[in-house]
């Protein structure tokens, strides 16, 4: 059983600490006691004593930490260590992208830059660990994208699944969270683009090129296929900006 250190934190004797300071002390408490996602935090009264703050300050700090998924408030059950997701990042990026409107899609362009850099940088590791089962799944997803593109239909959900599946064997939760986060931003902002039928067809075909490069164990080929895969969405962004 883990022993909880509930002694007041450094600086807790100062009266009326701001909610940001209280939030920092709650995070310090979580780290100091080596709590993990899903672990329950002390009661509000105990937490007040541990961080040396009033109930109102602790409540305000918990609201901020909850919005960041650092803690999770389950009404009737207590406050728990959160999943530490990237929800705040997604919300902020999405708002920036939608706020910019059709005249400026620099946020989406930056998301594409980061996604491409991440996937190209991990190309060698992906090839090293991607097994035949995942290769077959990627091939089936590429088939589905080609079929939808031929019908003039969007395939954002299938595309997202493809990229998650590509990086899944790495076993890195942070990479998967980043991938999902950037995809959520792209999925929300992308409808404001003027995507053309030709772009869909090319994008689907270039997912097939990614599958071939992975199957061949060709790191440089995979990096090139990833770069070419992002060309159509870059073209869509450029058209909107120029218009």
Q: 138-180, pLDDT tens digit by residue? A: 999 999 999 999 998 888 899 999 999 999 999 998 888 888 8
The pLDDT of residue 101: 54
Query: Which CATH architecture best describes the domain 19-81?
Result: Orthogonal Bundle (1.10)
Long-range pairs of 80-88 with CB within 8 A, sequence gap ≥ 24: 80/38, 80/39, 80/40, 80/41, 81/30, 81/35, 81/36, 81/37, 81/38, 81/39, 81/40, 81/41, 82/37, 83/37, 84/37, 85/177, 86/177, 86/178, 86/180, 86/181
Distance CA 103, CA 25 (A): 42
What residue segments make up the domains of the chain, in order of their start?
Answer: 19-81, 87-242
Least confident window among 39-53, 61-75, 106-120, 184-198:
184-198
**pTM of the complete model:** 0.67
The pLDDT of residue 91: 67
Residues 6+ apart with CB under 8 A from 23: 61, 64, 65
Q: Work out the burial of residue 25: count CB atoms within 10 Å of its CB; fewer than 13 is exposed, 13-18 middle, 19 or more buried.
A: buried
Give residue 208's Cα distance to chain centre: 24
The pLDDT of residue 67: 79
> Which value, in Å, is the radius of gyration of the alpha carbons in the chain?
23
Strand, coil or helix: 18: coil
Decide if pLDDT at 103 tops 70.
no
What CATH number is given for 87-242 in this structure? 1.20.120.530
**pLDDT tens-place string over residues 46-90:** 999 999 898 999 999 999 888 778 899 998 889 999 876 766 666
Instruction: Say whether 87-242 and 19-81 share the same fold.
Output: no
């Amino acid at each position: 059983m883990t022993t909880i250190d509930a002694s007041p934190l450094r600086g807790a004797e100062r009266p009326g600490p701001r909610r940001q300071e209280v939030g920092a002390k709650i995070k310090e408490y979580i780290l100091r006691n080596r709590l993990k996602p899903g672990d329950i935090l002390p009661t509000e009264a105990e937490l007040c004593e541990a961080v040396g703050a009033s109930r109102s300050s602790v409540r305000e700090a918990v609201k901020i930490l909850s919005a960041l998924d650092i803690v999770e408030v389950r009404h009737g059950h207590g406050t728990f260590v959160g999943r530490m997701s990237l929800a705040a990042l997604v919300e902020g990026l999405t708002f920036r992208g939608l706020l910019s409107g059709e005249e400026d899609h620099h946020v989406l362009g930056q998301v594409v830059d980061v996604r491409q850099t991440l996937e190209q940088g991990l190309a060698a590791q992906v090839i090293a660990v991607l097994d035949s089962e995942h290769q077959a799944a990627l091939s089936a997803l590429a088939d589905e994208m080609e079929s939808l593109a031929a019908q003039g239909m969007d395939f954002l959900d299938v595309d997202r699944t493809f990229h998650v599946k590509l990086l899944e064997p790495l076993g890195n939760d942070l990479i998967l969270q980043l991938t999902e986060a950037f995809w959520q931003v792209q999925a929300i902002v992308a409808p404001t683009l003027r995507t053309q039928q030709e772009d869909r067809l090319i994008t689907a075909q270039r997912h097939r090129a990614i599958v071939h490069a992975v199957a061949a164990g060709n790191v440089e080929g995979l990096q090139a296929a990833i770069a070419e895969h992002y060309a159509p969405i870059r073209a869509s962004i450029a058209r909107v900006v120029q218009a």
